[in-house]
Amino acid sequence: MSGDCISRAELPRLSEQLRAEGKRIVFTNGCFDLLHVGHLRYLRQARELGDVLVVGLNTDASVRRLKGPERPLTPEDERAELLAALRCVDYVTLFDEPVPSAVIELLRPHVHVKGGDYTPDRLPEASLVRSLGGEVVILPLTPGRSTTGIVEKLRKGQE
């Protein structure tokens, strides 16, 4: 079974429904531009931490602000469709802000997951997650697997 793309407005209702069913909600977020095996392994590990995985996906505008004018390589609607098609992802929602605090406030996840390029003390939303009763989990990255690395390999191949 694959997931659904849902709007921010639907998050409070979804959270209430899942909590009423006794489900443990896991949330993660990112750009997921050029989906690769590192992303897949990360998302699978995140899903194992609970019953439902919700992915906050950076909009195209926010990816440009974070990664530069040449990114994203894949438009947000296609990135959302790809993520939602993964068996380990239950829901995908878009966000435009630099930090997904508004999404976290609406969803109130039990677990907020980030990759090993972060530490809890360098994660701006960590205190919010904890204030809502959730925990922050940092998962290791898959060495040598990143969109930036793929882009660099492609650029070198074109030279």
What are the structural domains, with CATH classification, of the chain? 4-158 (3.40.50.620)
Dump pLDDT digits (tens) for 88-126. 999 999 999 999 999 999 999 999 999 888 888 889 999
How do residues 34-78 score in pLDDT, each as one tens digit?
899 999 999 999 999 999 999 999 999 999 999 999 999 999 999
DSSP assignment of the chain equals ---EE--GGGHHHHHHHHHHTTPPEEEEEE---S--HHHHHHHHHHHTTSSEEEEEEE-HHHHHHHH-TT--SS-HHHHHHHHHHSTT--EEEEE-SSSTHHHHHHH--SEEEEETT--GGG-TTHHHHHHTT-EEEEEPP-TT--HHHHHHHHHHHH-
User: Residue 93's pLDDT is what?
Assistant: 98
∠ at Cα 147 (140, 100), nearest 5°? 65
